[in-house]
Amino acid sequence: MWILDSAWHNGVDLWYRNGSTKCWHHEYDPPFYLYLPDPSAYHEMIDELKERYCAETCTFRTLFGDLDGFSVHADRAVAELIELQTKGDAQLFNVDVRRDQRFMAEQDIFPCGNADESRYSPDFQYDLRQVEIRIHDPPARSSLCTDVELVQERTELLQGTGHTVVTDLFSLLEAIDPDVILMSQADMWMPKFRVYARGKGLVMPFSRNGNYRQMDSRSYWSYGRVEHKDAALIPDGRVLIDTDQSFVYREGGLDGVFMAARLSGLSPNLASRFTPGTLISSYEVYEAVRRGIVVPFRKADVEAVRKFASLQAADRGGMMFQPAAGVYGNVDEIDFASMYPSIIVKFNLSPEIPGPPDRKGFLASVLEPVVALRRETKRGKKANSRYAGIDSLLKWMLVTCFGYTGYKNAKFGRIEVHEAITRRSREILVQTKDIAESRGFCVLHGIVDCLWVQGTGVDDLCAEVNRKIGLSAENEHFDWIVFLPLSDGFGAYNRYYGRLPDGSVKVRGIAARRHDTPGYIRIMQQEMLSIMATARTPAGLGQVRDPVYRIYCNAIRNLPCTAPAALAISRRISRTTYSHRCIEGAAVQAYRDAGLEIAPGMKISYVVRDARTYRVDPEWAAERFDLAYYRGLLDKAWNEISYAFRWDGHDSCGEWKAQKELIFPGFSHQGTECVQDL
């Protein structure tokens, strides 16, 4: 029974593939669990729970041991009333576990797979009818779509009035009867389709039984920044993926979504809409229920009171070695794949055990097969491209599992575990540095889980590191690498680019990598890097200086006549009100003036019309732009590249400035005429 979808409707609905797609409804009324330190103090409440909600005495297993309490067949609202009445004395468990997820965990089954196969196998198979819907209209400014491509065995073009296009789209979907629908901006279009269908007396064909689950929009903090999740209508019996908004689909493709569902026990509809952090947390919840461990509603294992000196010694984060800015040849990056989760597994770190115990801790035991799967997909993607999406999904899930150990509301987190992980990582990085230097390597840079070194015999170095440290260390070779400087001249920790042996360039932290870089500037820098990639040595970079500089000159020449849309800046806003004037605040107001609702965490795209007076236009409405402002952004991107040609101390900027005056005599930032390419 290959489970395609799951839902809760007064019982668990499992949609499964068996030649065709069918639904199996299972009556299911699971209880939550209640523990009271002194039950006699609440005997009246307990009697009421027994009478109204079939409460019964029982013993249940928590992460920290068995507790004697009660099973209560009621919902979250009743659990919250118990919290109020007991003034926080009550400990509640399994209150907010999704019931379809809980049912599958108890039955030891999972979505997107058969019960007789391993959840951790990357070689799962599926036979599903897929259709892709590409909607070219902007959903924020259109009530109905008028330009649609529907791709299955062939491409259907739907164009015309909104009513015609939507009606034809509904008819085609009903005829195709797909299992998986990949749709651009699906979560923004679905509410519009529902309004249209209700107005016309039509039935939306996205759900197989007419039911849709509602997910509300919300803004939330994640790793120091505000994110936004759009509201969504989730259909029953089909997988509907928003190809534009789904991070999981963007990183892992359909295989990545299905693997996330297999591990977390969630419907692929939900897995495609959740963050990697929510997915790894859901995976831990599924594993806890499967193993008979109840999941706390509110965490009770608060951080212990500690002396300031011990806190200062423990809570120090990861280790970093600041590089000396410059260009270096024949550099190897030694990287520990999934270092933090590997530390959890190797050193048996888990909230319920303060030190190395005789038994495997919960957190270490549940992460061990995921870490092993990541090693398998990382090796396998070199020969099988299908593994690449799954590997990317696993990478993000394992990255966030470390952060969740220190998250105050994490079901199975604890700050002491978080600190122990970073302590071990610091020790490992220092130990690796010492091993490298003992073998004659020069350590150039180090950050948390990787080192950049120069020397010979890197394979032997990795083998010794693996043997002595016990974690999997891999190396990536750079023919040359550029560590960029900070404003004070010291090397930046996370801004570099370098040539790999296959001729590609790996970049971090520069304009070509940043999400808010205008397309025009990103393309300029990417073209420069492509030419620089033809140089196999640092000395060879000098030979490509002129053609690289020519790209910069052409970019300056053509800037005045560039289409404003190519200069759009896309940013995720952290708030909607600003106490001082700024460009981002002006962009938010421009969106409001256009009649669009804005919430923290949303992405906006705008063009700066006049930076001095903070005038901006939404991307679609921009007709002019501030030439001087964008020239400044273009120069910043050029400076990141030009550093590679003056790293040896010979600053030829003066020479280039003289050349520019010859090429652009009297160049004015306010010019409006296009200039011929060199």
Predicted structure pTM score? 0.87
Are residues 421 and 403 both part of a single domain?
A: no
Nearest of 608, 560, 551 to residue 585 by alpha carbon? 608
Are residues 566 and 591 both part of a single domain?
A: yes
- pLDDT tens-digit series, residues 38-62: 999 999 999 999 999 999 999 999 9
Top pLDDT among 308 and 334 is at: 334
Are residues 651 and 553 both part of a single domain?
A: yes
Question: Does residue 186 fall inside a structural domain?
Answer: yes
Mean pLDDT of the chain: 89
Question: Does residue 18 fall inside a structural domain?
Answer: no
Top pLDDT among 17 and 413 is at: 17
Q: In Å, what is the CA distance from 62 to each residue of 280, 293, 297?
A: 19, 5, 12
pLDDT value at 195 more than 90: yes
- pLDDT tens-digit series, residues 269-296: 999 999 898 999 999 999 999 999 999 9
As a whole number, mean pLDDT of residues 13-24 equals 91
Question: Does residue 584 fall inside a structural domain?
Answer: yes
Are residues 214 and 162 both part of a single domain?
A: yes
Are residues 331 and 259 both part of a single domain?
A: no
Are residues 418 and 441 both part of a single domain?
A: yes
Question: Does residue 282 fall inside a structural domain?
Answer: yes
Identity of residue 250: R
Tell me which residue has tokens 């005045």. Answer: 560
CA distance linking residue 183 with residue 52, whole number of Å: 46
Judged by average pLDDT, the poorest of 43-47, 325-329, 485-489 is 485-489
Q: Domain range holding 46?
A: 32-93
Task: Give all strands (DSSP E) within 172-305, no chain letters.
Answer: 180-183, 212-215, 218-222, 225-229, 232-235, 239-242
Q: Residue 311's pLDDT band (boundaries 50, 70, 90)?
A: low
Report the number of distinct structural domains present in the chain: 4
pLDDT value at 669 more than 50: no
Question: Does residue 17 fall inside a structural domain?
Answer: no
- pLDDT tens-digit series, residues 368-388: 999 999 999 999 998 888 899
DSSP-derived pairing of the beta strands 491-499 and 450-454: unpaired
CA distance linking residue 360 with residue 370, whole number of Å: 15
Residue 198's contacts (CB-CB under 8 Å, 6 or more residues apart) are none
As a whole number, mean pLDDT of residues 243-256 equals 94
Q: In Å, what is the CA distance from 151 to each residue of 156, 169, 415, 559?
A: 6, 11, 49, 37
Domain boundary among 509, 536, 564: 509
Nearest of 234, 231, 220, 297 to residue 271 by alpha carbon? 234
